[in-house]
Structure 1
Amino acid sequence: MFKSKRYDDETLKHLQQVQMKIFKYFLEICEEHDLTYFMYAGSLLGTVRHEGFIPWDDDIDVIMFRDDFEKLNNILENNIDKKYRFFNVLNEETYHYSWGRITLKDTLFKEWWGNQVEYTPNIFLDIFILDNVPNNKYKWFVQKWKSFILNQLTIYSIIKYKNESKLKEIIQQSIYYLLKILPISPKTIKKKCVETFSKYQNEDCDRVCDFPSEFFMPVSYKTDWLPVKKAKFEGLDVNIPNNYDKILTMDFNNYMELPPEESRFNTAPKEIDFGEY
């Protein structure tokens, strides 16, 4: 798990091209059903700084408000192109992420945890979720920490971690084994996690949060996201947050400044296969 394998230029470019195929499918669905999304994380940075992929980036990230995500979820679970598969935290027993993912069948993107799940990890598009945050500080404190704990338990109920820190590894694996012997299923934990994330979905809240990333990305206001602005990503018109500068600054600080050259890479997966693509 600790050995870093870098992409060669040809493989990375090919991967980006395949991910664009998934992304275009996602955009078609959003346009057809009037769903709002935003470029997010490294993909938002790539849009603003490079008008496309960060040259060394190996995935595409988008984010949606919970209401739009649930509409997308319903569409894809009932009427998805047969070339693709849609994951959410509840529809696959061994899927350990609390956000959504559209994957391209007959491809392979096998990371270090790939042998611990019961499905084939394909090349994917990540779809993160913006959930409402209560205005009351006490309610927010409770939701924040409960969400953090349940998100971690969702992961540890499925994945046995190795860690460079032996102390962290002991803690993580102890939780993993404890959850295996307790009379509680991963699906039960996952349901509780989603309930906590979305607890204030139907309330009038000013702020939103991507809970799995909350400790890295602080809460933001809905007015930071809406109204949508347009920008270019690999020649396509895409949505970016209204106050993209604030969102990117929270995530990357001086985001227009390139990192040192030795840091301009992403770790490649253990195995990758593009199939017919």
Structure 2
Amino acid sequence: MFGEYRPEDLKRVKEIELEILIEFIRICEKHDLKYFAYGGTAIGAVRHKGFIPWDDDVDVAMVRDEYEKFISIAMKELGEEYELTAGNIQMDCSAVFARISKKGTLHITEQENRWKRKHGIRIDIFPMDFVPEDKQEFKKMISKVRFWRGLYIIKNIRNPLFENGGWKDKAIRTACFIMHYLLKLVPVKFIVKKMMDSYRAYEGKSTLVDCLDDNYPEKWVCSLDDIYPLQKGEFEGVSISLMHRNHEMLVKGYGDYMELPPESERENHYQGFLEF
């Protein structure tokens, strides 16, 4: 059943996510890898010194080279109770970016339920990729990333979820269904390679980075000077890294983030299938 959390379930989800975050930070500190809180987690660290009360996830980010180092190390370093997944590793994950999940748990939204691979309670780890300074080139890059990411999704599932249910959604759903079967002729490795090439197309060509997996990537374009040197914040009693210009980036992304939104806008991802 898909719907809102029971308060006790949301509390338990946060407890497990915090446990995973501590394991993530342990690996980063052991190997001197640089990460920082991202999105709602960065807001939570400043405004609440922890989780946003109604939020249900933990997001961190790493510049691509640090991210790739983490992936290679974490495959060996993670405790046996955790699992690392990413679209370019297993090639059948609902998320292209990396996730660390707690084995033996289940946390699946309605969209994710359409995928064969099921995720547990987890934290999300986003790569920050280099992007062009020219706005038109930036738009082209975003379009290319979304094209290959879209093919990756359709390759894996034949019926992506669309919210509105209107005739346009039905037409797109039909096209996805047809494409899914046509893509059986295309190896998933080929699609994944093209997808990853699109993410990394501007490495060594720009000084700007961005989270291309964000729904609004134009809000998160920044320089390395905006990120480094990192500063420290607090998250549920744990020391967590924040961007150097964390405040400026949160204002850019959210406006007056210190003001609580109206109750009607206090949303999370909502539970789907949830097991502890």
C-alpha separation between the residues in 1 aligned to 2:250 and 2:173? 31
- Coordinate RMSD, CA, aligned: 2.0
1:74 is matched with which residue? 72
The 1:134/1:271 distance shift into structure 2, 3 A limit, reads: same
Instruction: Say if 2:33 is the partner of 1:35.
Output: yes
1:225 is matched with which residue? 227
1:205 is matched with which residue? 206
Bigger Cα displacement from structure 2, 136-145 vs 25-34: 136-145
Normalised by the size of structure 1, how large is the TM-score?
0.90
Instruction: Say if 2:146 is the partner of 1:148.
Output: yes
The 1:138/1:58 distance shift into structure 2, 3 A limit, reads: closer
Indicate conservation of the 8 Å contact 1:85/1:102, yes or no: yes
The amino acid that maps onto 1:43 is: T
Which secondary structure does the structure 2 equivalent of 1:5 belong to? coil
Of 234, 237, 246, which aligns to 1:235?
A: 237
1:191 is matched with which residue? 193
Compute the displacement of 1:176 (Å): 4.2
Normalised by the size of structure 2, how large is the TM-score?
0.90
Within-5 A mapping of 1:250-261: 250-261=252-263
1:125 is matched with which residue? 123
Compute the displacement of 1:259 (Å): 0.9
Indicate conservation of the 8 Å contact 1:156/1:172, yes or no: no
Indicate conservation of the 8 Å contact 1:7/1:266, yes or no: no
Instruction: Say if 2:172 is the partner of 1:171.
Output: yes
The 1:214/1:12 distance shift into structure 2, 3 A limit, reads: closer
C-alpha separation between the residues in 2 aligned to 1:67 and 1:80? 19
Runs of at least 5 residues in structure 2 that lack an aligned partner in the other structure: none
The amino acid that maps onto 2:182 is: I
1:93 is matched with which residue? 91
The amino acid that maps onto 2:50 is: G
Runs of at least 5 residues in structure 1 that lack an aligned partner in the other structure: none
C-alpha separation between the residues in 1 aligned to 2:142 and 2:108? 31
Indicate conservation of the 8 Å contact 1:22/1:125, yes or no: yes
The 1:14/1:59 distance shift into structure 2, 3 A limit, reads: same
C-alpha separation between the residues in 1 aligned to 2:26 and 2:177? 40
1:20 is matched with which residue? 18
C-alpha separation between the residues in 2 aligned to 1:185 and 1:169? 27
Compute the displacement of 1:54 (Å): 0.1
Indicate conservation of the 8 Å contact 1:209/1:219, yes or no: yes
The 1:227/1:61 distance shift into structure 2, 3 A limit, reads: same
The amino acid that maps onto 2:224 is: K
C-alpha separation between the residues in 1 aligned to 2:31 and 2:130? 22
Bigger Cα displacement from structure 2, 243-252 vs 213-222: 213-222
